[in-house]
Structures are given as structure tokens and as C-alpha cells.
């Protein structure tokens, strides 16, 4: 009888009950479902985040539609432009981080620079290199017009206001129109009708070859 009891006890320990198997199966199913639900929620969160912080920024989600606006260009044949005489300056110093009384930054942050020994800039006054001053400051200057390119249509009446902003003295020519002097603080106005397609140049004789502008006259559409 004792032997049979021991055998029965061992068999009971080896074989799990049906209740235990069922419980284990239910737990596994619940865990799988929770995992799947977590993945789906994560994907949904990523999609929402991508919509909110898309290529257009945080407001992309709220601007899902684009509206097309129709613009009617000005059909006037009277064209008016203001052309400034300006120069560009590259200021530097012989010494690094040296106090500079003529620089835009009193203490330049860049490395030390020396003027070129053999300058390759063209002659004509449009470019200028100043010699280093008492603290080693020097600069490279380039004269230009702003704007230096204008587009009009054939038949337009064009008005150009030349404004003397930088540069003490200019001698300016507009091809086919004439020449005039321009001092700092002065405004000189010329008007003409662009009868023919092509290009009309305007330039300063004192600051060649770079102080040159161009008016592009487009032909009439057929």
C-alpha cells in the first residue's frame, strides 16, 4: 500500500492538471494580445508625431490642404527703378585679434592677413586696396551698382533714379541716353522708352571695369 501511494504521488507531480494548463494558456494569450496592442499604439503614436512634426514644422497636421492663389501682374508700361552707387569692403588686419580703429569689428576674430604683394586686380578704379594703417588695418574695396540688372519689356517707359550713396564722385553713362556726374547725396534721373529688344548698359567711367549695370529689354510677345 505504501508503494502504491508513493507511485501515485509521483505521477501527480509529473502531470500538471488541466486547470494549470488552461491558466497558462490564458496568460500567454493575454501577454501576446498586450504585446500586439502595444505595437499598434506605438505605430499610431509615430504616425501622429510624423504628421505633427513633418517637413513643414509642428503645424503641418493642421494645414493639410493647400490653396492656390491667382495673382494678376501689373500691366503698366511705366517702369521706375532706384539705382544706388555702393561699394563692398573686405576689412582685415595684419595682426590677429588686434584692435582696429577702422574695422567693422574693433577686434577682428579672424587670422592675420597681409595685402597681396603682386596685386592681380584690374586697373580702372573699380577695385582698391588700402595700405595698412598704424594699427595694421587694411581693406579691399569693390564698387558696384545696386541693382546692377533690370528687366523691362519692349515699349515700356523706363525711369531710372541714380542715387549717390557711396563714392565721392561718379561719371555715369547710360547707353543711348547720355552721361552725367553724380556726387554723394545727389539724385540724377533719366527717362526713356525701350523701343527695341536687347540690352542697355549703364556704367561709371571712374570705377571700371566692375561698376557696370545692364537693362534687359524683352521683346513683345507675338
Residue range 7-58, pLDDT digits in tens? 444 554 555 555 555 555 565 555 555 555 554 555 555 555 455 445 455 5
Predicted TM-score (pTM) of the model is: 0.65
Nearest to 222 by CA among 197, 205, 198: 197
Q: Is the pLDDT of residue 165 over 90?
A: yes
pLDDT of residue 221: 82
Q: Which residues contact 114 (CB under 8 A, 6 or more apart)?
A: 94
Strand segments, DSSP code E, in 132-168 are 137-146, 149-153, 157-164
Amino acid at each position: 500500500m505504501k508503494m502504491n501511494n508513493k507511485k501515485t504521488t509521483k505521477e501527480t507531480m509529473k502531470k500538471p492538471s488541466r486547470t494549470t494548463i488552461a491558466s497558462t494558456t490564458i496568460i500567454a494569450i493575454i501577454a501576446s494580445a498586450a504585446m500586439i496592442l502595444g505595437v499598434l499604439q506605438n505605430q499610431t503614436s509615430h504616425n501622429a508625431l510624423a504628421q505633427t512634426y513633418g517637413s513643414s514644422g509642428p503645424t503641418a497636421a493642421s494645414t493639410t490642404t493647400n490653396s492656390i492663389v491667382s495673382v494678376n501682374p501689373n500691366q503698366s508700361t511705366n517702369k521706375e527703378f532706384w539705382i544706388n552707387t555702393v561699394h563692398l569692403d573686405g576689412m582685415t588686419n595684419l595682426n590677429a585679434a588686434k584692435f582696429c580703429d577702422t574695422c567693422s569689428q574693433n577686434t577682428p576674430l579672424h587670422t592675420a592677413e597681409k595685402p597681396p604683394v603682386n596685386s592681380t586686380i584690374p586697373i580702372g578704379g573699380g577695385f582698391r586696396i588700402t595700405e595698412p594703417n598704424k594699427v595694421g588695418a587694411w581693406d579691399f574695396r569693390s564698387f558696384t551698382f545696386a541693382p546692377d540688372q533690370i528687366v523691362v519689356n519692349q515699349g515700356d517707359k523706363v525711369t531710372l533714379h541714380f542715387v549717390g550713396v557711396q563714392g565721392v564722385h561718379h561719371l555715369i553713362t547710360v547707353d543711348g541716353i547720355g552721361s552725367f556726374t553724380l556726387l554723394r547725396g545727389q539724385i540724377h534721373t533719366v527717362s526713356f522708352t525701350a523701343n527695341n529688344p536687347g540690352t542697355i548698359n549703364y556704367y561709371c567711367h571712374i570705377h571700371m571695369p566692375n561698376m557696370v549695370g545692364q537693362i534687359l529689354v524683352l521683346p513683345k510677345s507675338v
